[in-house]
A and B are shown apart, each in its own frame.
Chain A
């Protein structure tokens, strides 16, 4: 396999694609959003249970997509469990910088932990949307809740 391809399809990604973690429904989520990429037809639904302290107690996903989008959703849900909403938003920003090659002044990606396996995506501009679909959906789910809170 070519170097660039190997970096895109790392073993961790192939593994999460084959056996995705948190691939299930949460019966009564506090937050939910449907993610859809009209370009390829990928759809990823994100379910969250956020407690009153703003901690993500549970997070899961369902849907269909390519290896990159599925692995991204799987790893994202694994990492965000137990994090606060603020931490999730911060990680989203950093993840986005990583896959769009905009790490700029903070090239150290230790804070991203396992998410570093998505570094190879930056060589494939057409696949950035695949990697970030789950994240955008998660953010949208969190924001919907906020809006709901305001209107209630």
Chain B
């Protein structure tokens, strides 16, 4: 299997130049315990290419100023770059307008924004909100808080042993009390890609809005919010090779217009007197205070970077890498893969019989291999699979077959010690 060669629809071969791509990421030259870093914790956060680092530095080095208010040259340049990042995001997910793109601190804040603003206004006592078993805590807790406040009910779609949503159960769950559905586009712990289009279409046939947590999907799958017709969508910059501290809430304009502000402060107002305040137009109504300007510019750069390689090419490459890794670990004695859905992003969660994930993590660290061990902020999901924690290797656009081999050899050593 050659991971590097991809064919487009016309059969033209596209070379995925992995060596050149790796050169773009300075951190990949780092050594850990004297060994080359093998970074397989991309579902937690991804590394940043020079292009993103340089664009971010450039803001601080050359035109650092606050936005939307100064008449001076630097402020105008900063505003222009910040607002062009918004347009890059808008085009990236194919939103209708840039007023549908709200900058937040990340996926978590985006979900909290919807729960606080849309939720408080629209969810009443006795209403029901639907999520799924595989949600990250950030797509559970904000809804739990809202339900507790409003005396509403949180319902959870069950999953099968492969880690896929049981669609018939979801169908049965919907009733006249259902007021909102919020599900992961892809699971951080299992890698499962959910049938979000089907979920949305069914919900919309009952006029129920749907929010998608796209934190794990955004760097693997091409997202078109108009085609999906989702009502809200959230993702973070740092899982897309961009900076931490910046994220996106996409919302359909009619929802955003009808929602009250989330936080009060500067930038979100158009006129303030001590008696009354008029709120600013979208999306600024939801962006109180000075935002992470460098972060937004860095996110714009990250999107340009992945678009230059091509999300389809990345998805194709990562998919082959996932298959290679899945096959390679399948031979290991006592290894159970957690999450065997038909459609997956490049996440490989597993449990080794008689070896706790923490011990796996410590041993692999000495091989230079960074993986995530623990419950991955999905404790209810861990209970579903009857494991306290898993080890998770997650692959990004710069990982290689050779790195998968280092992982597998590390696991073999562990089995020798604990066997």
Contacts and interface: CB of A to CB of B under 8 A. Distances in A.
Interface in B333-368: 354-359, 362-363, 366
Given A14-B418, A41-B379, A5 B366 contact: yes
A68 B374 contact: no
A6 to B, nearest CB: 10
Contact size class for B?
20 to 34
A46 interface: no
Given A40-B389, A41-B374, A66 B359 contact: yes
A39 B362 contact: no
A145 B410 CA distance: 45
Given A39-B374, A41-B374, A41-B382, A68 B388 contact: no
A110 interface: no
Given A124-B362, A130-B358, A40 B418 contact: no
Given A39-B374, A40-B373, A5 B389 contact: no
Contacts of A99: none
A41 B387 CA distance: 10
A41 B363 contact: no
A2 B366 contact: yes
Contacts of A124: 362
Interface in A1-32: 1-2, 4-5, 8-9, 14, 17-18
B417 A9 contact: yes
A42 B33 contact: no
B33 A67 contact: no
B172 to A, nearest CB: 31
Contacts, number: 53
A8 B418 CA distance: 13
A64 interface: yes
Contacts of B363: 5
B386 to A, nearest CB: 11
A94 interface: no
Contact of A68 (B354, B357, B359, B418): B359
A128 B177 CA distance: 48
Interface in A94-144: 124, 127, 130
A65 B357 CA distance: 9
B374 A64 contact: no
A2 B373 CA distance: 21
Given A14-B418, A64-B388, A41 B362 contact: no
Contact of A67 (B359, B366, B388, B413): B359
A41 B375 contact: yes
A65 B366 CA distance: 21
Interface string A73-87: 000000000000000
Interface in B374-419: 374-375, 379, 382, 388-389, 413, 417-418
A96 to B, nearest CB: 20
Contacts of B379: 41
Interface of B: 33, 354-359, 362-363, 366, 373-375, 379, 382, 388-389, 413, 417-418
23 contacts: A1-B413, A5-B362, A5-B366, A8-B362, A17-B418, A18-B354, A39-B374, A40-B358, A40-B373, A40-B375, A40-B388, A41-B374, A41-B375, A41-B379, A42-B356, A42-B388, A64-B388, A65-B388, A67-B355, A68-B358, A68-B359, A124-B362, A127-B362
Interface of A: 1-2, 4-5, 8-9, 14, 17-18, 39-43, 64-68, 70, 124, 127, 130
Given A43-B388, A67-B418, 7 more contacts: A5-B363, A64-B356, A66-B356, A66-B357, A67-B356, A127-B358, A130-B358
